[in-house]
Amino acid sequence: MSKIIPARNGTKKDAIILKAATLFRKKGYVAASMRDLAESMGVEASSLYNHIGSKQELLQSICFKVALKFNNELTAITSAKGKVVPRLEALIRFHIHMMIDAYDEVHVANHEWKQLHEPYLGNFLQERKAYENSLIALIEEGTAAKELKPIHPHVAVLTLLSAVRGLEFWQRHKKSVTADELETDMINHLLTGLIQ
């Protein structure tokens, strides 16, 4: 018999959620079994149920924890005063840092939300939509102030969000590019383009 070790500054439940995020990222939510998860914690599958309600609850915790963090940051940024460009830059930097600090959880929220049950699925999509709309408003503010080029704001948001989401593929290049270089180059690319 082994024991579940609580997460740093957290409960045993938190520890399970963290391991679940790693496992769900690696294998996908459906393909990852509770036995896999239990094994990775050195425990039998049924023992997990002393701490959690269900497998689905784990996914919900992960997805909404991530959503909350992004929402808090975006709210701070959109409600701040000042030029749009530096605020946009701050948001991109935040996305990059989230992808580095909470890689597994962000990855799972991005890829496995489909497996959420109702009403969580609907809530999650609604939060995403709201996030997108706030960002669209920020772009429009920038275009109106002539800080940004005239561009269809939906397209700009799509490009921005997709680009930062793609940071999940960056793990492979960690050796050749540092996080700082990445940040600088990506922000430059997204804000000022590739062409000399």
Partner DNA sequence: CAAAAAAACTAATATGCGTTAGTTTTGCTG
Partner DNA sequence: CAGCAAAACTAACGCATATTAGTTTTTTTG
Q: How many C-beta atoms lie closer than 10 Å to residue 90's C-beta?
A: 15
Q: How many C-beta atoms lie closer than 10 Å to residue 26's C-beta?
A: 14
Site for a second copy, residues 165 to 194, rule: CB under 8 A: 165-167, 169-170, 173, 176-177, 181-182, 185-186, 188-194
> Of 149, 142, 140, 158, which is closest to residue 193 (Cα–Cα)?
149
The minimum distance between CB 24 and a second copy, in angstroms, equals: 11
Contact residue for DNA among 45, 121, 136, 163 (CB under 7 A): 45
Residue 10 contacts by C-beta under 8 Å, 6 or more apart in sequence?
none
In DSSP notation, 124-138 reads: HHHHHHHHHHHHHHH
Q: Give the nearer residue to DNA in terms of CB position, either 31 or 80.
A: 31
Amino acid, single-letter form, for residue 3: K
Site for a second copy, residues 75 to 104, rule: CB under 8 A: 85, 88
The minimum distance between CB 11 and DNA, in angstroms, equals: 8
Amino acid, single-letter form, for residue 164: V
Contact residue for a second copy among 111, 123, 131, 179 (CB under 8 A): 111
Count residues contacting a second copy (CB under 8 A)?
Answer: 46
Q: How far, in Å, CA of 16 to CA of 6, rounded?
A: 8
Cβ–Cβ under 8 Å, residues 87 and 77:
yes
Binding segment (CB under 7 A) for DNA, from list 51-59, 118-126, 135-143, 154-162: 51-59
Contact residue for DNA among 10, 35, 137, 189 (CB under 7 A): 35
Contact residue for DNA among 47, 78, 110, 134 (CB under 7 A): 47
Instruction: Report if residue 49 touches DNA, rule: CB under 7 A.
Output: yes
113, two tokens: 């939300």
Residue 80 contacts by C-beta under 8 Å, 6 or more apart in sequence?
87
Task: Name the residues that contact a second copy, by CB under 8 A.
Answer: 27-28, 30-31, 85, 88, 111, 114-115, 142, 146-149, 151-152, 154-156, 158-159, 161-167, 169-170, 173, 176-177, 181-182, 185-186, 188-196
